[in-house]
Amino acid sequence: MTYQPEPVVKIVAFGDEYSLHAKEHFEFLAKHGLELSARFFSFVDRAKLEHFDNLPTEEYRKKLGELSDSQVVYNVSNAPKKSLQRYADMAKDYGVKANDVGSPLGKQWIGAASVSDIAKVTNGVVRAANALDTRIIRMFSFYPGTRENPMAANRNEQYRDAIALLRYVGRDLKRAGLVGFLENETGLFGNTGYTLRQIIEDITGNPDGLKFFAYHDGANDVRQNKRENAALQSFRELKQFLAGLHIKDAPSDYAIKNGESIETAEWPHSPAGQGDSNYQVILAEFTQIIPRIRRKLKGLGLDGLVPLVLEPHRQHQGKYGGFTGSLYMESIMALRGLLDGINRGVNVHNSEVFNMYQGEGDKIVSTRQSRLKKGIPYRPLLDIPDRPLLTRAV
């Protein structure tokens, strides 16, 4: 009998980055053996969803907002009970396992946040996790100040308020048997690996026995800091709290236009290894701490497979998510090439997705660019056929 090494990581994807339509994204996830990070979904007939793939990002966001307000598109955290259960049943029918709820928890201006608002969102997140049979909640810290005055002078006081609210959320999650995975995110308290590590230390340094872990997102570092190796340094600062990675890459040389902020800019994203997030080095170093992370996950009663969560944002990106569509497979194969290039490779649980295009990952990696040149539109390196999509998520 040939020895088969035990899988150590699994590939997870945001279904709505392929298509907002639940049936379409479950078909994609099931076909490629991917686990789900649950966020947006819709059941509306595709014919009723307008084709707006080619809209500029701001017009697209406005259109998606209209669809959400009219209850055409749901977030799992606030979907009606029947719609959420239908979505969860569909996941089971397709054999797709939910790794986490990609929740909107946090991402509010701390000056306008209230316990009642946070409690409402937390209750919705717990309900979604129970329906989807997952215990991991992807979440965030808070923005300093208010939308009108983000640079408020009482920053230290606001930081203490943010810690208090995160502890409140942590206690609710603990009572529900769930665990929060905080992500470094642009503009928040905890926008870098160093500051997010401080937050987790401050939240968990209390008698409540709260547990929080971290997802690291390389592109979120690149978008904020043009310093070379910013993402790698951020990753290293977070190492002791990491329990998975968000795989999202971007070039650092994008010039923000007048009237844009870092958050609203139409920042181009690229497959892992083709931007400036230094994923070649990050993934190589990450493999060294996988055994420790697996013990941590098993201690939580989880399967011990370390999640690598694909969130490519290849066509659109916004405050609460992004869209990749037909470029998703190329992003998957870029990750495959990076994992294959580490020592003898990393044994992946759901390796069906990598076996479909044997050798193509190396093709992507061997032709990767150090950065996307300003003014030169991105073109896919692989011509992998995929049907056109009518929906996308932001």
Q: Measured between alpha carbons, how far is 297 from 290 in angstroms, rounded to an integer?
A: 10
Query: 226: how many CB neighbours lie within 10 A of its CB?
Result: 11
Nearest to 242 by CA among 202, 189, 282: 282
Instruction: Kindly state whether residue 39 falls inside one of the protein's structural domains.
Output: yes
Enclosing domain of residue 79: 9-366
Instruction: Kindly state whether residue 372 falls inside one of the protein's structural domains.
Output: no
Six-digit token string for 171: 């206690």
The answer to whether 248 and 311 are in contact (CB under 8 A) is yes
Ordered alpha helix ranges (H), the chain: 22-32, 57-69, 81-94, 115-132, 155-175, 193-204, 218-224, 230-238, 279-299, 328-340, 352-355, 360-366
Provide φ and ψ at 122, rounded to 5°. Answer: -60, -45
How many structural domains is the chain composed of? 1
CATH of the domain at 360: 3.20.20.150
Please give the chain's pLDDT, 394 residues, in tens.
444 556 689 999 999 888 888 998 999 899 888 999 999 998 876 555 554 455 555 665 566 666 655 567 899 999 999 999 999 999 999 999 999 999 989 989 998 888 999 999 999 999 999 999 999 999 999 998 876 666 666 888 999 999 999 999 999 999 999 999 999 998 899 999 999 999 999 999 877 788 999 999 998 898 887 678 999 999 999 999 999 999 999 888 775 555 566 566 666 788 889 989 999 999 999 999 999 999 999 999 999 999 999 987 656 565 555 666 678 888 888 898 888 877 556 777 766 555 544 434 333 333 233 333 333 333 332 222 333 323 323 2
Instruction: Kindly state whether residue 393 falls inside one of the protein's structural domains.
Output: no
Q: Measured between alpha carbons, how far is 9 from 348 in angstroms, rounded to an integer?
A: 5
- Give the pairing type, strands 35-38 and 98-102: parallel
| 215 contacts: CB under 8 Å, gap ≥ 6 | 138, 181, 182, 183, 184, 242, 243, 244, 245, 246, 309
Instruction: Kindly state whether residue 374 falls inside one of the protein's structural domains.
Output: no
Instruction: Kindly state whether residue 322 falls inside one of the protein's structural domains.
Output: yes
Angle at Cα 258 formed by Cα 255 and Cα 260, nearest 5°?
80
Q: Measured between alpha carbons, how far is 311 from 15 in angstroms, rounded to an integer?
A: 10
As a whole number of angstroms, the longest Cα–Cα distance in the chain is 67
Six-digit token string for 326: 């037909």
Nearest to 159 by CA among 114, 189, 203: 189
- What 3-state DSSP class applies to 242? strand
Q: Measured between alpha carbons, how far is 76 from 380 in angstroms, rounded to an integer?
A: 31
Instruction: Kindly state whether residue 385 falls inside one of the protein's structural domains.
Output: no
Q: Measured between alpha carbons, how far is 267 from 256 in angstroms, rounded to an integer?
A: 8
Instruction: Kindly state whether residue 184 falls inside one of the protein's structural domains.
Output: yes
Report the b/e string of 253-264 with b at 16+ CB within 10 A.
ebeeeeeeeeeb
The pTM of this model reads: 0.82
Six-digit token string for 2: 């040939």
Instruction: Kindly state whether residue 2 falls inside one of the protein's structural domains.
Output: no
